[in-house]
Structure 1
Amino acid sequence: MTANLIKQTHFDAIIIGGGACGLMCAVQAGFLGKRTLILEKTEKPGAKILISGGGRCNYTNMYATDMQFISANPHFCKSAFSQWSVEDTVIFFETYGIEGKEKTLGQLFPVSDSAKDIVNLFTGLCRELEQEIWCNAEVKAIDQVMGGFAITFERDGREETLHTPKVVIASGGLPIAKMGATDFGLRTARKLGLRVTETAPALVPLTITGKDQEWYEQLSGNSIFCRVSNDQISFEENILFTHWGLSGPAILQISSYWRPGQWIELDMLPHQNVLELIEAERLQNGKRPLGGLLASLYTRKFAEALAKYLPIEKNLATLNKQDMENINNLIHHFKVKPAGDKGYDKAEVMRGGVSTDELSSKTLESKKIPGLYFGGECVDVTGWLGGYNFQWAWASGFVIAQGI
């Protein structure tokens, strides 16, 4: 590549990726009087925002702190969150007409239930602040050159190279390739000599194969409130049986902490004691079958499926000590060894990414390469399900904007 092929631009920075982090970065830079250009691979910006929360966009979580994020350095995100808090997110959206409503476990959605309102807010602000967004612009390479970087990209069938003093990589992670996800950020980091923490699908359904698969298949569509745990953490939310295994909020949450070969445990009656319920019912109606009691706690289909493990035809009065032990273990300590996960196409986010050791926690700038910034999902900071990853995207976009 020769210098005369590189077109000089008047932008203070070029942002790779028009998702949550990239859009916030452009807007915040605009507030500071800086000009940015977003290069977005797909036809429209904010593609992943539009599908999040079933098209409603759970844009933050009222209870978000650094404690709900997974990273090789769990303290890394503290600085960004001290600069851009949940309160800042709420005020920002309210200022521009998007009121929030809190749903389960602190999840905040627009009152309109429309993710389009979020995207329209950012694209509108970009227009007002003269921040440019070029769509269908696929970046091919980022090279270090005198005075900054050369960004080579293809747009409308033509290849072009622009010079920029600073570049922001906010190109997301690997999940949902059909929405434009690629490993561009990770490849670029490695090419430029930065370390990348091992990546894997996160917030993803888990699969069951082998002799137990048929049992899960027959329960497809059944949902149960559970406490799902491993030796690290536990989550209390619904699980969903599917024809290939387990999904639902609690499973997605635990998946971020699960590794192949490990077990997880389900407490399928987390706020009650099944043995106490049996004893109480025995006093009232000892002739009632165990299956009848279970059917009052779960769906009838699920209660009947437990016949594989429990004597559901037995009357409560005739249950012996071994029966009671088996019931307790099954209901409160149901062991599951997933075969794997459903992969990036079904994952909400990617775990791992550009190593936090390579970046300043205060600015998200590369320690080795001045002027190079990484934000959002391509960094090794992964939040829980429920608006946490958006909070990281907004915070990292804001932080980067201060430095470009």
Structure 2
Amino acid sequence: MQYDAIIIGGGACGLMCAVQAGLLGKKTLILERNDKPGAKILISGGGRCNYTNLGTSLDNFVSENPSFLHTAFNLWSVSDTLDFFESQGIYGQEKTLGQLFPTTNKAKDVVGVFTKLMFETGQDIWLNSIVTSVEQSGAMYRVKVETPSGEKVLSSPKVVFASGGLPVQKLGASDFALRAAKQFGLKIVQTAPALVPLTITGKDADWYASLSGNSVFCRVYNKKISFEENILFTHWGLSGPAILQISSYWRPGEEFTMDLLPRFSLEQIIKSERDNGGRRLVSQVLHDYFTKRMVEALGQFLPINTKVASLSKADSKSIIDTIHRFSVKPAGDKGYDKAEVMRGGISTDELNARTLESKKIAGLYFGGEAVDVTGWLGGYNFQWAWASGYVIAQAI
């Protein structure tokens, strides 16, 4: 069988690329190492698949060159994503912060759209197939692949790398696209886990562990960015949406700050308590906003058993600073197996923004997570996967 392109990876980008190519009358083959396509789609959003975000903009992405996305998102917008899925019977329901889930709340329905369209457009997919090498041979590429029936060597004029990044190993995560890019002389932006929980060690570890299971709505920020969502204390550190978000902007050795009460002014609360006599204990005031366990934990370094009226200026400042400017210095992160995505990847300088083809090596295309484009939590990475798959499909 002669294929217009071989697509390595049957995730969001690869599936969209195959389907869109098929709709243009092209013939592709997906090589997928798992026993079913869309493995990461199926577990996303707790199995519900947050498949895009209505507020998608370039500001929602981490990259050495975020403006690179402008062309792809012009060619395939959020509206295009909505129209595409609605044409296949998948309608969205908005949750918080623009996140869109299918009304069925089933990620398998999203994958089902692609398997149906691949069948209808005559695209092929080989499962349990691991690509071991891609080599250039004149105007063609030789692709070696280990299949359940043994090694095969395929030939194609174009190869699409849509094999994702390093998270999550149990889903077949691989650095194959990065290794291939290096093999062909393409620059790689340093990679690291992103959208990942952060660990706390040392003298503060026990304090965080004592709050394990407690969730607090916070503003988490550093000099680069700010997020207002929940954090979750764990026995090894911090997780929750706000922590996952800030992790993409955090580097080892850096600190960030948490405002544990972002929608209130503790200074005004204390003043109001004083105006009313200040008879309540600080702990009683804090109980209006935090769980009992959180207040007890804060009591390790705040005068929570003091009446508000008796607080000194120094004590008041200490309480306000601790609640509104809680400094955190993580020891590290939980690694690729707990990360939602990978930061870094194939440099956008190496790719044509309109086609995602390598500028140096004709016929090689890179999309999705393998590229130095990392979205925030909340459907942004799927939007990039759909857009990059569509863009490549137009060009192959």
Q: TM-score, normalised by structure 2?
A: 0.99
Aligned twin of 1:73: 65
Aligned twin of 1:250: 242
Aligned twin of 1:162: 154
The residue correspondences of 1:137-152 to structure 2 (distance < 5 A) are 137-152=129-144
Cα shift at 1:284: 2.8
The residue correspondences of 1:57-72 to structure 2 (distance < 5 A) are 57-72=49-64
User: Which letter does structure 2 place at the counterpart of 1:32?
Assistant: L
Aligned twin of 2:270: 278
CA RMSD of aligned residues (A): 0.7
Cα shift at 1:283: 2.7
Corresponding residue to 2:378 among 383, 386, 389:
386
Give the Cα–Cα distance (whole angstroms) in 2 for the partners of residues 63 and 44 of structure 1.
31
284-293 or 137-146, which deviates more: 284-293
1:359 aligns with 2:351: yes
Give the Cα–Cα distance (whole angstroms) in 2 for the partners of residues 227 and 148 of structure 1.
52
Aligned twin of 1:35: 27
Give the Cα–Cα distance (whole angstroms) in 2 for the partners of residues 161 and 10 of structure 1.
13
The residue correspondences of 1:226-237 to structure 2 (distance < 5 A) are 226-237=218-229
Q: Residues 29-59 of structure 1: CA distance to partner in whole angstroms, max 9, x if unpaired?
A: 0010000000000100000000000000000
User: Which letter does structure 1 place at the counterpart of 2:192?
Assistant: A
Give the Cα–Cα distance (whole angstroms) in 1 for the partners of residues 93 and 284 of structure 2.
39
1:401 aligns with 2:393: yes
Aligned twin of 1:305: 297
Cα shift at 1:147: 2.1
Cα shift at 1:179: 0.3
1:203 aligns with 2:203: no
Give the Cα–Cα distance (whole angstroms) in 2 for the partners of residues 121 and 245 of structure 1.
39
User: Which letter does structure 1 place at the counterpart of 2:242?
Assistant: A
Aligned twin of 2:318: 326
252-261 or 156-165, which deviates more: 156-165
Structure 1 stretches of at least 4 aligned residues deviating more than 6 Å after TM superposition: none
Cα shift at 1:285: 4.8
Give the Cα–Cα distance (whole angstroms) in 2 for the partners of residues 148 and 58 of structure 1.
38
Q: Residues 98-137 of structure 1: CA distance to partner in whole angstroms, max 9, x if unpaired?
A: 0100000000000011000001110111011110110000
Cα shift at 1:281: 2.1
Q: Residues 69-125 of structure 1: CA distance to partner in whole angstroms, max 9, x if unpaired?
A: 111112111110000000000111111000100000000000011000001110111
Give the Cα–Cα distance (whole angstroms) in 2 for the partners of residues 189 and 25 of structure 1.
19
1:94 aligns with 2:86: yes
Corresponding residue to 2:183 among 180, 183, 191:
191
Segments of 5+ residues of structure 1 without an aligned counterpart are 1-8
Aligned twin of 1:120: 112
Q: Residues 251-309 of structure 1: CA distance to partner in whole angstroms, max 9, x if unpaired?
A: 00000000000000000111111011112123335221100111110111101110111
Aligned twin of 1:223: 215
1:315 aligns with 2:304: no
1:26 aligns with 2:18: yes
Cα shift at 1:328: 1.0
Cα shift at 1:157: 4.7
Aligned twin of 2:284: 292
User: Which letter does structure 2 place at the counterpart of 1:171?
Assistant: S
Aligned twin of 2:166: 174
Q: Residues 312-355 of structure 1: CA distance to partner in whole angstroms, max 9, x if unpaired?
A: 00011101100011011101100000000000000000000011
Give the Cα–Cα distance (whole angstroms) in 2 for the partners of residues 169 and 161 of structure 1.
17
Q: Residues 173-193 of structure 1: CA distance to partner in whole angstroms, max 9, x if unpaired?
A: 001100000100000100111
User: Which letter does structure 2 place at the counterpart of 1:273?
Assistant: S
Give the Cα–Cα distance (whole angstroms) in 2 for the partners of residues 368 and 146 of structure 1.
15
User: Which letter does structure 2 place at the counterpart of 1:81?
Assistant: F
User: Which letter does structure 1 place at the counterpart of 2:150?
Assistant: R
Give the Cα–Cα distance (whole angstroms) in 1 for the partners of residues 104 and 74 of structure 2.
29
Aligned twin of 2:257: 265
User: Which letter does structure 1 place at the counterpart of 2:7?
Assistant: I
Paired residue secondary structure (1:75): helix
Give the Cα–Cα distance (whole angstroms) in 1 for the partners of residues 389 and 318 of structure 2.
52
Give the Cα–Cα distance (whole angstroms) in 2 for the partners of residues 303 and 293 of structure 1.
10
Cα shift at 1:195: 1.0
Give the Cα–Cα distance (whole angstroms) in 1 for the partners of residues 333 and 87 of structure 2.
40
User: Which letter does structure 2 place at the counterpart of 1:390?
Assistant: F
Corresponding residue to 1:341 among 314, 324, 333:
333
1:212 aligns with 2:198: no
Give the Cα–Cα distance (whole angstroms) in 1 for the partners of residues 140 and 350 of structure 2.
19
Give the Cα–Cα distance (whole angstroms) in 2 for the partners of residues 162 and 343 of structure 1.
35
